[in-house]
Amino acid sequence: MNFFLRKSIIALTGLFLCVFLMVHLSANCILLFPEEVAREMYNSYSTTLRENPLIKIVAYLLYLSIIFHVLYAAIVTYRNRKAKPQRYAVNRTADNSTWTSQNMGLIGVLVLIFIVVHLANFWARIKLGIGEGVGMDNAGYVDVYEVTYNLFQNVYYVLFYTVLMIPLALHLNHGLKSAFKTLGFYHKKGLRIIARVSLFYAAIISIGFGVIPLIVFLK
C-alpha cells in the first residue's frame, strides 16, 4: 500500500472520529442538567446506544475507525522515522513545521492512553459487563449516570480526564488541518479558514470534555 493511501485512511477515519466526538460531547452535556432530568435522559441515551441496531452498526464502524487510524498512523510514523534516521546539527524542519506536527506520534500515544483508560472505565463495564461497582446490579442493569458521577468523585480521575484534554486539543487541531490537506485541499484562502475552524473545533471539544468532570466533581 502506498504512502498516499495510508494517509487517506488516517484522514478519513480521523474525520469520522471528529464527527463522533461532537455527538459524544453533546450527549455528555446531559450530565450538567439537574439530576431529576439528567439521570433518566443519560440512562436512556445509553440504552439506545446499546440496543438500537443501526447505532450498533455505527459503533462497529467507530471501533474499526479507531483501530485503522491508530494502526496506519503507527505505520506512517515508523516509516517516516526509518526514512530519515539521522539528526542534523541544524534542524531545518523546525523552521517550517510546528512542535505539534513534529510530535504527533507522542501526542497520539497520550490520546490513545486516554482512550484505553476511558474505555476500561465505561465501555468495558457498560457494554461488556466487566467489573462490578456502584451503578451496576447483579441482573446486568447499569445506571450509567451513577457510574459516571461515581467515577468523577475521584480527584485523580478528574485530573486525568482534564489534563489529557491538552494533547487531545493539539491532536485535533493539527489532525483536522492535515486531513483536509491529505484529501487534496490546497486552496490557500480555504486552508486559512480550515485552520481557524480546526482551532475552534479542537477548543470546543477539549474544553467541553475537560470541564464536564470538573463540574461533576464540584456539584
Catalog residues that contact ligand HEM under the rule CB under 6 A: 21, 24, 28, 46, 49-50, 59, 62, 115, 118, 122-123, 126-127, 144, 148, 161, 168, 209, 212-213
| Residue 117, C-beta contacts closer than 8 angstroms, at least 6 positions apart | 160
The residue nearest ligand HEM at its CB is 46
Decide whether 21 or 179 has the Cβ nearer to ligand HEM.
Answer: 21
In whole angstroms, what is the distance from residue 108 CA to residue 114 CA?
Answer: 10
Helix, strand, or coil (residue 153): coil
Q: In the bound complex, what is the minimum distance in angstroms from residue 36's beta carbon to ligand HEM?
A: 19
In whole angstroms, what is the distance from residue 31 CA to residue 41 CA?
Answer: 9
Decide whether 85 or 140 has the Cβ nearer to ligand HEM.
Answer: 140
Q: In the bound complex, what is the minimum distance in angstroms from residue 56's beta carbon to ligand HEM?
A: 9
Decide whether 11 or 142 has the Cβ nearer to ligand HEM.
Answer: 142
Q: Is 75 exposed, middle or buried (0-12, 13-18, 19+ CB in 10 A)?
A: middle
Decide whether 11 or 147 has the Cβ nearer to ligand HEM.
Answer: 147
| Residue 118, C-beta contacts closer than 8 angstroms, at least 6 positions apart | 161
List 136's β-bridge partners, or say none. Answer: 142
What contacts 24+ positions apart, CB below 8 Å, involve 79-83? 79/3
Decide whether 5 or 55 has the Cβ nearer to ligand HEM.
Answer: 55
Q: In the bound complex, what is the minimum distance in angstroms from residue 157's beta carbon to ligand HEM?
A: 10
Q: In the bound complex, what is the minimum distance in angstroms from residue 66's beta carbon to ligand HEM?
A: 6
In whole angstroms, what is the distance from residue 195 CA to residue 199 CA?
Answer: 6
Q: In the bound complex, what is the minimum distance in angstroms from residue 138's beta carbon to ligand HEM?
A: 19
